[in-house]
A and B are shown apart, each in its own frame.
Chain A
Amino acid sequence: MLSPAILIPAILNGLLTGAVYALVALGLTLVYGVLHIINFAHGALLTAAMFAAYFAYRFGIDPYVAIFLLAPAFFALGYALQRFVIGPASHGDDRNMLLVTLGIAVIIENALLYAFRADTRTIDVPYAFQSVDFGFTYLAVPRLIGFAAVFAVALVLWLIMSFTDTGKAIRAVAKEKLGAELAGIDVAHVYAVTFGLGTACVAIAACLLIPTYYVNPSAGNAFVLVAFTIVVLGGMGSVPGALIGGLVIGVVESLSSLFLGDSLGQVGIFLIFIAVLLVRPSGLFGARA
């Protein structure tokens, strides 16, 4: 059908895009694995982070440098949101938490819409169009950096989870909240830290995306629905699942865009999403839903 010369770059680009999807999904799956809710504000936070990265660039800060500013800033934002808004507002009820995160999503997205209108903005970094010649194909530099960065972040997260006290506390709460509480762990704090980490992931992803993507108030939405699909496919709460799922979805999207065109490519992803939810909700790597 299609020649390898077209398929292979599509697959490789799919992997590169998929890595960033995976990072967005990572934040989501982390929050689910510990708080056991789906954070509907995830997409809006990504959009906000992309706007932040955009404005950082306008102030002369290169996106890759901005990572080191925005990640801590958004960690703090996520921490504060969970600790002082979402946690108290939900009164411990999962269904309420869904609604509260939805409400926050609506607020953030529409505040951005109100402040910045629906115009699409892009930035122009000098290396945006540089690419590396791999012989059989060219791959864009920003996307390669993004790919590497995602694995670096995953590695850092793994180190945090395995070797720091906070990481151990997070794993304890994820496994058995009541027991962790009885052992003296401050669950509200752990929840907030986890939410902060998830938001930081999204901030990093935003910085990785901004060299090659546009920014507008609904940009985050496009990514987050894909992220949901990845998280469900890879298994809620599974970090390897998010990474592998991200790569798979990136490739699927790339190939279905090739065959079906952009909009229908998106539909393909949703259909996979619905199919996975119905047939195997625990995903490839997840525990029982």
Chain B
Amino acid sequence: MKAFAPIVVVVALFAAVPLIVHSNVVLNFLVVALMIALAGQGWNILGGYGGQYSFGHAAFFGTGAYVTAILQVRYGVNAWAGFAIGIAAGAAVGAVIGALTFRSGLRGSYFALVTLAFAEVLRILASVAPITGAGVGTLIKLDLRAQAFQFQSRAVFYWVILALVALSLITAKLIERSRFGAWLIAVRENEDAAQALGVDAATVKSVAMVISGAITAAAGCFYAQYFLFVDSGIAYGTWISIEALLTPIIGGVGTVFGPLIGALVVKALGEGAQMFTGDAPGLDLVVYGAVLVLVIWFAPRGLIGGLAQARQWLTRRPAAEGSHG
């Protein structure tokens, strides 16, 4: 229980924000940042803890967004039910991609490529399929009632996404302390050695992908409810694949809070870039790309890792008992 204290504290602090801050601009910024943090935590489960770098997490985000939107708009399904089904759909996509790629033993570059390809296929299909509204996209009707998962007050949206983020933080922590987590991390560190110790790497990776898909799909479902419009570029575009991987990398891969910290930094940088240049498209992504390269270069373990390293350095014992093996 003590292990979950940091999560409780952080979530409580975040929850208090709308009580103090009333600016819609700030709340909107935080809502979007939390949404990206959620998507990033999904990536983090597979990439940070599992070491499988997906370049196509848009596949999950977009599936969540489209499923919940289409179910509401075309089939009159309740928005909350749509949300849950959207998450399940993301998990299902994760299961399919995982089964196909991990059973074939795909790793590293190949895995990144395949995930990129899956996301692209979905994007192209979504841009032409009638059910998604093809090029025009899908618009959810404004219906400001709680039953429709739409809220007059931005603060309520904020608390909803915060709750989802809190669940994802708890999930990450539970994984860290479980046998599954120990196996997943072992696969990341050295898959062959893990196999020799009885770890069924293919299954472990597939399960991680299902969890990862579900979490990122939840972020997509939230997007649909908050912005009320989804098209193929938004749902399956490279922007979300990049942001989903950027946030854990900046914050610290394989850590519980990495994606959250990373999301705040990424979004702050994005806002900063926009203030500089107005609405010209592209500059914020240039900044993201540069940050990605710089972080990998100088702080590969992200902000959290960097802090841990600094702390180690400061409390380093003078005499080394064992030399570097």
* A residues at B contact (CB < 8 Å): 32, 37-38, 40, 85, 88-91, 93-96, 98-100, 102-107, 109-114, 117-118, 217, 225, 228, 232, 263-264, 266-267, 270-271, 273-274, 277-279, 281, 289
Contacts and interface: CB of A to CB of B under 8 A. Distances in A.
A107 B128 contact: no
Interface in B28-51: 51
Interface string B112-138: 111011101100110110000000000
A96 B296 contact: yes
Bin the interface of chain B by size.
35 or more
Given A99-B292, A103-B289, A277 B297 contact: no
A118 B281 contact: yes
A105 B293 CA distance: 10
Contacts of A263: 124, 127-128
Nearest to A85: B293
B117 A225 contact: yes
B118 A107 contact: no
Contacts of B197: none
B51 A95 contact: yes
B283 interface: yes
B30 to A, nearest CB: 25
Return the 5 tightest CB-CB contacts between A and B, nearest first: A106-B289, A113-B282, A103-B292, A114-B282, A107-B289
B282 A110 contact: yes
B55 interface: yes
A270 B120 contact: yes
B285 A106 contact: yes
Contacts of B118: 274
Given A38-B109, A94-B109, A263-B124, A281 B104 contact: yes
Given A99-B292, A106-B289, A37 B104 contact: no
B300 A103 contact: no
6 contacts: A99-B53, A103-B290, A106-B288, A114-B282, A217-B282, A289-B106
A102 B300 CA distance: 15
Given A95-B51, A99-B292, A103-B290, A88 B297 contact: yes
